[in-house]
Amino acid sequence: MMPVRVIAATFVALIAVVTLYAGGAAATAAANGTIRGRVEVRQSSTDSSGRVSVADLGTSAMHAPTDRRAVVYLDPAPRAAFDTREEPRPRLDQRNETFVPHVLPIVAGTTVEFPNSDQTYHNVFSLSKTKTFDLGRYAVGRSKSVRFDRPGIVRVFCDIHSHMSAFILVFAHRYFSLAEPDGAYRLENVPPGTYTVVAWHESAALESRRIVVPDAGGEVEVNFSLGRR
Ligand SMILES: [Cu+2]
């Protein structure tokens, strides 16, 4: 049995969603669809033992494969996909000398908190063209934040611990999905139309697929099998 409070919260959330999309639905009878599927990264033939391959040597090899999640997104986004909802501030935690999460997709304009949850110092920085920053050192319990305004990929490192790394993927729209550890992803409320769906994974080459969300909406299944870089 779901507690009453959870049911109430779910109901409120449903109302919010219905209200949100009622405005768009008035303009057209077409129904929005869902694009869903799974992303797998193929093991290369030399990597069938499950050992870390030479291609993996580097900072990301320190991260469990389940942390190294894929991100699936539409490129470009549907028209009218840009809105001005206030963003919550996601966290990129420094915990046990690891960035948590390892992969963080956000929409442009989002401010990310970088709390230090370790007893040791860290020095978070990025030299990425999308956003260059250097947060310097700060003690446990402290946090600094960075706002990301430009779409693109931001590689994040720690100047003190070379095994720490993270990816922030900044999008110009909200049509992106962080895959589950098992690779499952879901892009919801996609208006009917033809789209390019792109799958990103740090160890693989980008792969894209042209798909159609029919006027009737419904679910479109798109699975990716990415080759290792
Ligand atoms: Cu560090």
Report how far ligand 1's centroid is from the alpha carbon of 95 (Å): 9
Indicate if the pLDDT at residue 121 is higher than 90.
yes
Q: CB–CB of 26/212 below 8 Å?
A: no
Q: What average pLDDT does the chain have?
A: 84
Q: How far is the CA of 169 from the centre of ligand 1 (A)?
A: 21
- Predicted confidence band at 212 (pLDDT cuts at 50, 70, 90)? very high
What pTM does this model have?
0.79
- State the distance from the centre of ligand 1 to the C-alpha of 168, rounded, in angstroms: 17
| Separation of CA 116 and ligand 1 centre (Å) | 9
pLDDT of residue 76: 85
**Is the predicted pLDDT of residue 192 greater than 70, yes or no?**
yes
What is the tens place of the pLDDT at every residue in 63-78? 787 889 999 999 988 8
Distance, CA of 117 to CA of 74 (rounded, Å) = 34
Ligand 1 midpoint to CA 10 (Å): 39
d(Cα 48, Cα 91) in Å, to the nearest integer? 35
Instruction: Note the CATH architecture for domain 33-82+173-229.
Output: Sandwich (2.60)
pLDDT range class, residue 14, cuts 50, 70, 90: very low
Q: Where are the domains of the chain?
A: 1-30, 33-82+173-229
CA of 122 to the centre of ligand 1 (A): 4
